[in-house]
Amino acid sequence: MNTEIQGRAAHVAAIRERAEADMRAMGVDAAFIDLLVETFYARVLKHPVLGPVFDAKLSGRWPEHMAKMKSFWSSVAFRSGAYGGKPVQAHTGVADLTPALFPQWLALFSDTLDDIAPNAEAKAWFMATAERIAKSLTLSLFYNPAMDDPQRKPA
């Protein structure tokens, strides 16, 4: 059993080392994660549709949210395990959150990456990751299998 635990720890460490090397090769480091989060959320706050939704949920708690998002993106990019939150639960019940906001969120994220990503490869990686996150959140928050059952839809 101890050998299993050691093997698992070595496997996790290898995954983390590979992710860190991949990010370094793309010019992504902790400073870039900070810049990405700070730039993106500054733009979110100014966005006419996204800003009010985010600010209503996070008013007075922006510093904590920013730290959490830096931890989240660091954990995703570097496989650091730094983030231990629950994104679906965090977004459940957010006033005025609709599936239509996710494409706007992605467009703003893409524009931010256009301006600050170190290269096209980094932008592509972050966009693909953001698209997976948006899809996962959309399905988790808004998908109702009963409503999408073809047998329940009128012909």
- Integer Cα distance of 125 and 133 in angstroms: 12
- Integer Cα distance of 24 and 46 in angstroms: 31
User: What pLDDT digit, counting tens, does each position of 28-44 carry?
Assistant: 999 999 999 999 999 99
- Integer Cα distance of 144 and 146 in angstroms: 5
Closest CA to 142 of 106, 87, 100: 100
- pLDDT above 80: residue 148: no
pLDDT (mean) for 38-53: 96
